Amino acid sequence: MTRITLTIDGETVQADEGTSLLEVARKAGADIPTLCHNEQLKPHGACRLCTVEVVKGKRTRLVASCAYPVEEGLVVRTSTVEIEKHRKLLVEMLYPTALHLAKRYGITKSRFEAERGDCNLCGLCVNYCREVAHRNVLYFEGRGIDRKVAFVPGKAQECSSCGACFELCSGGFVVTNHGTVSLNERI
Amino acid sequence: MCPQTVRNEAPSDDKRWKIINATMRRNGDDSHALIETLHSVQETFGYLDDVALSYVAKSLRTPLSRVYGVATFYHFFTLKPQGEHSCVVCTGTACHIKGAQALLSAIKGSFGVAPGETTADNKLSVISARCIGSCGLAPAVVIDGNVMGNLSPQTLVARVEREIG
Ligand code: SF4
Ligand code: FES
Ligand code: FES
């Protein structure tokens, strides 16, 4: 496997080709917040909390580190004033879900009206159900502001022998399908 | 034993399933044919029900969860039976400015249905859409597939009344 050399927060580090920036940076000691990331799952790229700054040649941009594979010669900064401002805004928009992050950023209220207080559509439950549990009970229904986690009709019983997604959810373990079923009740 | 593709049995002996099967076969019965197949079901049966979605999932060997995800993502697909006539009101930017909301409230007032609903007698389904590409005709409406433009609430209601008889 090809080794790749890059700079993270001023330090030169080496990593295998194909690894994500998030993984490498965390190994190098960076403290990057994430919400939709889970080592067992493919990158989902929904929350953007893992945003870092990458400098490639003359260009500087902000990228989602969980979905960005390491590149030779990349110069990465994992925390800048701009990044922290960005993260704080995202956490405020997630409020009142993801309260562990709200605490970290000192957020106790939000200027934005919460669309819903439970699910923040991080996708951990849906992706886990598909990629790891291989049960395909959950899916995202609808799109845009109507998007919600839903059960495939008639398949919800399968959850009684799994339930792994409860542990993953940061939003209070509530998943509703047409506003009726909730994982909370453990079906 | 010689390898042979066994087709799943259609949910009923309704001849229309043959059309769906043909669509799937033409696309190699592969999961990438999902949207194409759902289009075929929508056009043939008028809507997608649980039975049809399960059959498509099984036939294309794709998770039912994915089929539901796709079916609910696109506004083109409907999971409930539609009325005999359809009235699509454009609520895109141009039509919005030219009074799409007034059209919708006129329809609600005269027929009692909001976008996404069907009248109790199953005569009329009202749908809202985002820009149907006829901004020059704003506010535009599509009644049973025919685009109509520059509509006032009164002409629209009269027109729909004539269509549904
Ligand atoms: S129910 Fe929980 S785990 Fe699932 S998408 Fe919503 S917040 Fe994420
Ligand atoms: S952890 Fe990278 S986008 Fe959510
Ligand atoms: S906005 Fe109605 S047709 Fe474009």
3-state secondary structure A57-100: CCEEEEEEHHHCECCCCCEEECCCHHHHHHHHHHHHHHCCCCHH
Nearest to A28 by CA among A16, A11, A49: A11
Residues A77 and A151 placed together within one structural domain of the fold: no
Is A119 inside any structural domain? no
Query: Is the domain of A7 the same as that of A72?
Result: yes
Is B73 close to A153, i.e. CB distance below 8 A? Answer: no
Residue A174 pLDDT: 55
Q: Which two tokens stand for residue B82?
A: 């539609």
Q: Residues A79, A155: one domain?
A: no
Tally of domains within chain A:
2
The H or E element containing residue B147 is strand B146-148
Beta bridge partners of B159: none
Kindly determine whether residue A155 and residue B64, on different chains, have CB atoms separated by under 8 Å.
Answer: yes
- In this structure, are A84 and A128 located in the same domain? no
Q: Quick one: pLDDT at residue A171?
A: 62
Interchain proximity A130–B50, CB inside 8 Å: no
Residue A18 domain-assigned?
yes
* Domain match, A16 and A79 both: yes
Cβ neighbours around A24 below 10 Å, total: 22
CA distance B65 to A126: 10
Distance of CA A122 from the midpoint of ligand 2 (Å):
9
Instruction: State which residues form the domain around A15.
Output: 3-88
Of all residues in chain A, the percent with pLDDT exceeding 90 is 65
Residues 6+ apart with CB under 8 A from A142: A148, B72, B73
Distance set, CA A154 to CA A140, A159, B54, B136 (Å): 16, 11, 11, 47
A139 found inside a domain: yes
Are residues A13 and A74 both part of a single domain? yes
Q: Indicate the residue type of B162.
A: R
CB pairs under 8 A between A and B: 30
Which two tokens mark B17?
């399933």
Domain-ending residue, one of A41, A69, A88? A88
> Both tokens of residue B38?
């759902």
- Looking at the structure, tell me whether residues A7 and A61 fall in a common domain: yes
Q: Is A76 in the pocket of ligand 1 (CB under 6 A)?
A: no
Question: From chain B, which residues contact A within 8 Å (Cβ)?
Answer: 50, 63-66, 68-69, 72-73
Render pLDDT for A103-153 as a digit per residue (tens, 0 to 9). 999 999 999 988 777 788 999 999 999 999 999 999 999 988 889 888 898
Q: How far apart are CA B3 and CA A136, in angstroms?
A: 29
**Inter-chain residue contact B65 with A136, CB threshold 8 Å:** yes
Q: Is A86 touching ligand 2 by the criterion CB < 6 Å?
A: no
State pLDDT tens for residues A64-110: 999 999 999 999 999 999 999 999 999 999 988 888 899 999 999 99
- Residue A60, phi then psi, degrees to nearest 5: -115, 130
Name every residue whose Cβ is closer than 8 Å to that of residue B157 and which is 6 or more positions away in sequence: B106, B107, B110
Looking at A88, A116, A145, which one is the last position of a domain?
Answer: A88
The answer as to whether A116 is a domain residue is no
- Asked if A139 and B66 come within 8 Å (Cβ–Cβ), the reply is yes
Whether residue B133 is predicted with pLDDT greater than 80 in this model: the reply is yes
Instruction: Confirm whether A93 is domain-assigned.
Output: no
d(CA B69, CA A150): 9
CATH number for position A14: 3.10.20.740
Rounded Cα–Cα distance for residues A55 and A73 (Å):
9
Nearest ligand for residue A182 CA: 1
What are the tokens at B136? 């020059």
Whether A33 is covered by a domain: the verdict is yes
Chain A nearest-CA distance from B112, in A, is 23
- Interface residue of A152, A159, A162, A178 to substitute, partner B, most B CBs within 10 Å: A152
Spell out which residues of chain B touch residue A143, defining contact as CB-CB under 8 Å. Answer: 72-73
Average pLDDT, chain B: 91
- Please tell me whether residue A156 adopts helix, strand or coil conformation: helix
Task: Supply the pLDDT for residue B40.
Answer: 95
Looking at residues B63-85, what average pLDDT do you find?
91
Ligand 2 pocket member A26 (CB < 6 A): no
Please tell me if the CB atom of residue A48 comes closer than 6 angstroms to any atom of ligand 2.
Answer: yes
A21, part of any domain: yes
Q: How far apart are CA A155 and CA B65, in angstroms?
A: 10
Tokens representing B26 are 């033409």
Domain-terminating residue out of A88, A105, A135 = A88
Peptide bond into A153 cis (omega under 30): no
B142: helix, strand or coil: strand
Residues A82 and A129 in one domain: no
Residue A156 counted as domain residue: yes
Q: What is the ipTM of this complex?
A: 0.79
What per-residue confidence (pLDDT) applies to A120? 87
The rounded Å distance from CA B109 to ligand 3 centre is: 23
Measured distance CA(B149)–CA(B139) in Å, rounded: 6
SS3 B143: strand
Which helix (H) or strand (E) segment holds residue A52: the answer is: strand A51-56
Tokens of A179: 């506003």
Tell me how far apart the alpha carbons of residues A114 and A102 are, in angstroms, rounded to a whole number: 14
| Phi, psi (rounded to 5 degrees) for B141 | -140, 145
Mean pLDDT of chain A: 88
